[in-house]
Structure formats: structure tokens, C-alpha cells
Amino acid sequence: MGLVLVPLLAWELLARVGPWPRWLFPDPLAVVRSIAVMAADGRLGAAVLRSLSRLVQGFAISALLGVPLGILMGRSALALRTLRPAVLGLQALPSICWLPLALLWFGLSETAILFVVVMGSMLAIAIATEDGVAAVDPLLLRAAGTLGIRGLRFHAGVLLPAAFPGVLTGLKLGWSFAWRALMSGELLFVAGGLGQLLTQGREVLDAAQVMGVMVCIIAVGLLVDQGLFRFLELRVRRRWGLVEEPA
């Protein structure tokens, strides 16, 4: 635990003895003070809420499109051959590159920024879901066949749960891609949220605010990733019998 303090001390030291002016390289306490000020006047809370609501919307759309797309690719050889090159190709494109097109199509609107978020995470979710479906034990599929489980009951009750550990990995990955895409979008296209607060800090030459917002962005990312997703993953792995039960 004490080791966490070492980088903090190094930061403090750099701020004190470094050759750069203090206002450009604030010490940790100044950053904490700046966070407290932003929290107190409500700017921080509003920005976090704005960003998170966009993220949840974009992520929900990504999951609702990406998971079925992945299942389709995992179950149909034709769909896999047709779609996989396109999906892999588009996945190689940094999602912020969609912003100019999104602005042309949707104007300066919420839709444009949601579009960038969806394009950033949907394909990652689809690819991981396809992997998860391909890794399903064929014995389970055969068992479902002999038990006469077909149609929606098969897809929702057998295929999806059987592939779920893989799907969850995809959702986790998709979430972090969505978070990145959203931050780039909010930086370039100013309409509230943490990204805009970051830009504001630069405009008023307040490095402490910039750093403070960065810390908040890291905190939100870690909280969701390590808190929510790790918790879910552990529960699923335990339920599915993929880890040893703690005695």
C-alpha cells in the first residue's frame, strides 16, 4: 500500500524542483483542491453524469447490435466469410476517425457523438462474441438438439449462456473502447461532459483543472472496469464452474 505513495512523492518532488513554472505543473494537492472546487460548484458532477449517460446509451446500443452480429458470425460460415474482413478492417480504424463523417451525417448533435461511441465498441463486442460462440462445447449443442431445444429458446437459453464468458470479455473490452471513443469525441466536439471540462481547463490555462479531470476520467474507467466487470466476470466464472470454488 505504501508503494502507491512513491509515484505521488515523485510527482510532488518534480513539481517543487522541476524547471517548469508551478502553474503549468501543479503538485498533487493543487490537483486535489481543483477537484474539490469543481465538485463543490457542481461542474464535476454534471460532467460525469453527462458523460456516463452518453456512455451507457452508446454502450447499450453497441451491445444490442454487437452481440447478435457476433452470434450470426459464429453460427453461419457464410456470414463469417462475408462480414469478418469488413469487421476486422473497420476495427483497425481508430473510432475518432468516424467523427468527421458523423458530423456530416448527423450535424452537431448527440447522435453524432453516440455514433462515434457505437462504432468504437460494437465491432470489438462482435468479434469477442464470435470467438465465444466458436468456443462453445459442441457436446452442449448436440445435447440441445437431442432434447429438442430449438429456435429462440436455443439461442437465448443455450447458445448465449454457453458463450457468455466470452461475450462478457467482449463487453468489458467494448466498454473500455466506448469510454476512449467518448472522451476523444467530447474533446473535439464540445457539448458538455468530462471531455469538455478538460478542454475548458486548457482554455483558462488551469493545468490543475486539466489534471484533476484526467484523474476523474481514470477513476471512472477503473471503477467500471475493476469494480463492475471484474465482479461480474468472477461471478460468471464461478457459476459456470470455470474456477475452483473457494473452500
Question: Which parts of this chain interact with other proteins (CB under 8 A)?
Answer: 139-140, 142-143, 145-150, 153, 157-158, 161-162, 164, 239-241, 245
Neighbours of 223 (CB within 10 A): 10
- Give, for 96, the enclosing helix (H) or strand (E): none
CB of 205 or CB of 243, closer to other proteins: 243
For residue 7, the SS3 value is helix
CB of residue 161 to other proteins, shortest distance in Å: 5
Calculated CA dihedral for residues 236, 237, 242, 246, nearest 10 degrees: -110
Instruction: Please report, in angstroms and rounded to a whole number, the separation of the first and last CA atoms in the chain.
Output: 27
Distance CA 128, CA 120 (A): 14
CB of 45 or CB of 157, closer to other proteins: 157
CB of 6 or CB of 152, closer to other proteins: 152
Q: Which three cell numbers stand for residue 129?
A: 462474441
CB of residue 241 to other proteins, shortest distance in Å: 3
Distance CA 7, CA 2 (A): 10
CB of 2 or CB of 241, closer to other proteins: 241
CB of residue 137 to other proteins, shortest distance in Å: 8
CB of residue 235 to other proteins, shortest distance in Å: 11
